Chain A
Amino acid sequence: MPHASATTSSHLLKKDHLKGFLRKLAKEYRLVAPVRNRHNDVLFTVIDDLDAAEIELGEPPQNSLKQFFLPQQERLYSYTNTPDGYDFRPTQTTIPPTVYFGVHPCDLSAVLYMDVVFSRRQRDPFYLRRRQGSVLIGVNCNSPAPNCFCNATGSGPFLEMGSDLQLTDLGDRFLVEIGRAPGHALIEHWQGFFSPSGDKDSAARYQAFLEARGRFSRQVHVEQAIRQLEAGTVPEQVWEELSLRCQDCGGCAYLCPTCTCFTISDQQLDATSGQRLRSWDACTFGGFTAMTGGHNPVQAKTSAIRQRFLHKLRDDVRQNGRPSCVGCGRCVSVCFGGTDIVRFVERACQGSL
């Protein structure tokens, strides 16, 4: 078998060789991939036993990489307050170099967005220490799930950039495209697993892309909703309906791969010590904006809901040129009352109810 040269930008990996390749990777990295567990749920999981793990590349995992880079709850510091002073010590955590394998385009786009949020204005050390040393191996989506609409947010079903290696399922083989330098290094290091790809493979990839694009079951007019938000023409009843139906669970923000709002709070351990925690927060919670003394500049539930969609669809477009919604559809299935982004877009585009 002719060995691949790392200088070409795309290669082939036979499906039979995938486990072998992952086994090699797992020796040098911590391996995280979407795994279908015995309860039939698909979660990004740290894989300890590759043979026992059923890696699932079709159904999108229910958690996203946010859980790994911005955990639901993380200890930032331990502190002590003694006559000697009030002292903060950052939590020492060693995050092993990790390969995130099988990341869908929506989740890859989300990581790129988080990278911007956590390093644009200030470099967030706690995010970056988890993010640094991570290798992202993406897989393009051949068959979007029923709630998916990444085609409407420009973040799928196929991705040209963002990952270190990008895989496309071509039946018996993966087309492997090199994104960034770490991907290049992986191919270089394990050349034996890869063979050169040809025009036929590129054509197959294009064909797969066309087919995937035709498989979306939802038409979500994100662009139109963005225009409405920008013009301020979303009818008031839309906000009222959504806020009546919102059950305040925060699930949309928690499962969203790009919702990065967090809170920082202290937890007392004893009289002289405690810890400072950072945890996920949701802008739809009433307490998100409440100030001490009870005054809340966001008084109505309608304003809080409005803020959520404004941020994702208007403010982030203004700032980054694209919405921070990546069309993964997680908030659609997580929503109790049906006040998710898809319902919002539908309602906003209807103009009135």
Chain B
Amino acid sequence: MTNSINEIENAEVILVSGSNTTEAHPQVARRMLAAVDRGARLIVIDPRRTRLAECAHLHLPLKPGTDIPLLNAMMRVLLDEGLADDLFIEMRTENFLALRDMLNRLDLEETAALTGVPLPLIRQAAQLYGRARKAVICYCLGITQHVCGTENVQTIANLAMLAGQIEKEDTGVDPLRGQNNVQGACDMGALPNMLPSYQGVHNEDYREKFERAWGMRLPEATGLSLVEMTHGGPQGPIRGMYIMGENPMLSDPTLNKVEETLRGLDFLAVSDIFLTETAQLAQVVFPAACFAEKSGTFTNSERRVQMVRQATQPPGECRADSEIIMELSARLGYAMKYGSSGEVMEEIALLSPIYGGMYHDRLEQGWGLQWPCWDRNHPGTPFLHKYYFTRGRGHFMPAGHTAPGEAPDQEYPLLLMTGRIYHQYHTGTMTRKSERLTRECDHAVLQINPTDAKGLCLRQGEPVRLLSRRGEITLAASITDQVASGMVYTTFHFHEAPINQLTNDAFDSGSRCPEYKVCAVRVAKVAP
């Protein structure tokens, strides 16, 4: 996020795209609703009529996968109506002409038709956003989990820069992070092409810095991404894996391929707190301490690095992951010795400029620090891109419409979207152990529009088969007009209905993010 969560409350216009905020980020939704109570305008772009959409002033129910046309249409309206921030564009951006040319070539009516949203509604949204003194855009996986995820994100940035809604407090572009420490894992270099603090592995200077610190030659070539590792098949490039606290057997697309790959490995070790679907395939399983049994830091969506404090002792023989890694590393001839997680953080601060001032003793005070925090005296950074973009001038990256990797056809006439629900978290490893959360929601439902349900003679709650070219699952039908006719929606939390057996593993070439939001499916009655 370029802003802090609390800034959202002060915005005049909030544009939410591809985020079921009330369910996936309740704290962010709370700020949005508070802003609405103070008179802010809320615009929700979502194929589904989510609860937030019901609270919104404008709901733009676009067809899935048409985010770019919709945003382009909004930008065209800004241009046509003189709502572009010329000064900002002049002073702070580059490549504007390319964007303008692309937008001017658009046929607005046609573009609107592509998205399924009435043009007047798009116009209204653009006007609200363009005229606001302070506007924020919040987006989530509804934007990124597409084959054109990177272009989607760039188009959002285009819109924000065009309207000049980015340089100020309470104004900006905020991707909401799904998991508690996605931000931190990325910051720490848990990426095939990046060393900690986004220092590219291919850059010799960066590599050399780490080689000096770590006392060892480091590999130069970009590594394999998660999907490449888990989808290589039994004869794939990966022979052995070490998996810490992840459950690709439920979270990754085209699960059959993941299972085939993991089963085909020579060796798989998993460390986790429960025996997950992935751990069940391992040769070795390590019992790990959970968050309440160890200390360290998490980095939240707003880049706030915060302490995780030990409250109790791990049960049985559980050990913290850091201990397990150090034990293994020593056995493999590379001794790592840290007395505490604070000591690890000292090394992180030394090698990662954006974490340069992060030390546990500082983080213990107050409520953590937001990166970039360059040195011990730096107060942290509540919002990014003040006065200058990270890369200098903001670069407009015009993009056109990219059709999803798979479109509904005669055989698979419905479009499937996947997402989260409020009571469960990710693959349910933890939440499904909770009596209360389980009571409130313990099975996957397939949201389907009444019209489509009628066509199939479905009753509320009836189990149905959901089929795609890649697999088939059975789950209960939930007939609701929250989804439009022609689309269905479900969640990925439940191993009984592993939706990712169906999803497409087409992925965005830039971010390598799989297209979870669109694939073609068919619904059939369970034979009586």
Would you call A247 and B440 a contact (CB within 8 A)?
A: no
Q: Which residue of B lies closest to A244 (CB)?
A: B54
Contacts of A279 in B (CB 8 A): 435-436
Q: Which of B29, B54, B367, B439 has the most CB of A within 10 A?
A: B439
Can you list 6 A-B contacts (CB < 8 A)? A39-B367, A281-B436, A336-B29, A336-B33, A337-B30, A338-B34
Instruction: Tell which of B29, B30, B54, B461 touches A294, judged by Cβ atoms closer than 8 Å.
Output: B461
- Interface residues as binary, B431-469 with A (CB distance below 8 Å gives 1, 0 otherwise): 000011001100000000000000000000100000000
Instruction: Tell which of A265, A267, A290, A336 touches B30, judged by Cβ atoms closer than 8 Å.
Output: A336
Bound form: Cα–Cα A277–B439 in Å: 15
A285 contacts partner chain B, Cβ-Cβ < 8 Å: yes
Bound form: Cα–Cα A265–B29 in Å: 32
A77 to chain B, nearest CB (A): 16
Would you call A265 and B435 a contact (CB within 8 A)?
A: yes
B37 contacts partner chain A, Cβ-Cβ < 8 Å: yes
A245 contacts partner chain B, Cβ-Cβ < 8 Å: yes
Would you call A245 and B26 a contact (CB within 8 A)?
A: no
Contacts of B55 in A (CB 8 A): 244-245
B295 to chain A, nearest CB (A): 16
B135 to chain A, nearest CB (A): 22
Contacts of B127 in A (CB 8 A): none
Bound form: Cα–Cα A325–B396 in Å: 56
Q: What is A's interface to B at a CB cutoff of 8 Å?
A: 39, 244-245, 247-249, 263, 265, 267, 277, 279, 281, 285-287, 290, 294, 336-338
Q: Which residue of A lies closest to B23 (CB)?
A: A247
- Interface residues as binary, B11-52 with A (CB distance below 8 Å gives 1, 0 otherwise): 000000000001000110110011001000000000000010
Bound form: Cα–Cα A68–B440 in Å: 26
- Whether A247 touches B54, Cβ cut-off 8 Å, given contacts A267-B435, A338-B33, is no
Q: Which residue of A lies closest to B365 (CB)?
A: A38
Bound form: Cα–Cα A39–B364 in Å: 9
Bound form: Cα–Cα A263–B34 in Å: 32
Within 8 A of A (CB), among B312-335: none
Would you call A245 and B422 a contact (CB within 8 A)?
A: no
Contacts of A287 in B (CB 8 A): 436, 439-440
Bound form: Cα–Cα A160–B37 in Å: 39
A91 to chain B, nearest CB (A): 17
Q: How large is the interface on B (under 10, 10 to 19, 20 to 34, 35 or more residues)?
A: 10 to 19
Instruction: Tell which of B34, B54, B440 touches A286, judged by Cβ atoms closer than 8 Å.
Output: B440
Q: Which residue of A lies closest to B55 (CB)?
A: A244
Instruction: Tell which of A267, A285, A294 touches B440, judged by Cβ atoms closer than 8 Å.
Output: A285
Q: Which residue of A lies closest to B22 (CB)?
A: A247
Bound form: Cα–Cα A286–B442 in Å: 12
Q: Which residue of A lies closest to B364 (CB)?
A: A38
Would you call B30 and A247 a contact (CB within 8 A)?
A: yes
Contacts of B29 in A (CB 8 A): 247, 336
A261 to chain B, nearest CB (A): 12
- Whether A248 touches B422, Cβ cut-off 8 Å, given contacts A287-B439, A336-B29, A337-B33, is yes
Which 5 pairs of residues, A with B, have the shortest CB-CB distance?
A287-B439, A336-B30, A287-B440, A265-B435, A337-B33
Q: Which residue of A lies closest to B440 (CB)?
A: A287
A179 to chain B, nearest CB (A): 36
Contacts of B436 in A (CB 8 A): 263, 279, 281, 285, 287
Bound form: Cα–Cα A338–B33 in Å: 8
Q: Which residue of A lies closest to B442 (CB)?
A: A287
A281 to chain B, nearest CB (A): 8
Contacts of A277 in B (CB 8 A): 435
Contacts of B27 in A (CB 8 A): 336
Contacts of B422 in A (CB 8 A): 247-248
Bound form: Cα–Cα A244–B422 in Å: 15
Contacts of A286 in B (CB 8 A): 440
Contacts of A294 in B (CB 8 A): 461
Contacts of A281 in B (CB 8 A): 436
Bound form: Cα–Cα A279–B436 in Å: 9
Instruction: Tell which of A39, A244, A249, A338 touches B37, judged by Cβ atoms closer than 8 Å.
Output: A338
Bound form: Cα–Cα A245–B440 in Å: 18
Q: Which residue of B lies closest to A249 (CB)?
A: B26
Contacts of A338 in B (CB 8 A): 33-34, 37
Contacts of B30 in A (CB 8 A): 247, 336-337
Bound form: Cα–Cα A208–B489 in Å: 60
Bound form: Cα–Cα A244–B50 in Å: 11
Q: Which residue of B lies closest to A266 (CB)?
A: B435
Bound form: Cα–Cα A287–B27 in Å: 23
Q: Which of B33, B54, B55 has the most CB of A within 10 A?
A: B33
Instruction: Tell which of A247, A263, A290 touches B26, judged by Cβ atoms closer than 8 Å.
Output: A247
B433 to chain A, nearest CB (A): 10
Instruction: Tell which of B34, B51, B440 touches A244, judged by Cβ atoms closer than 8 Å.
Output: B51
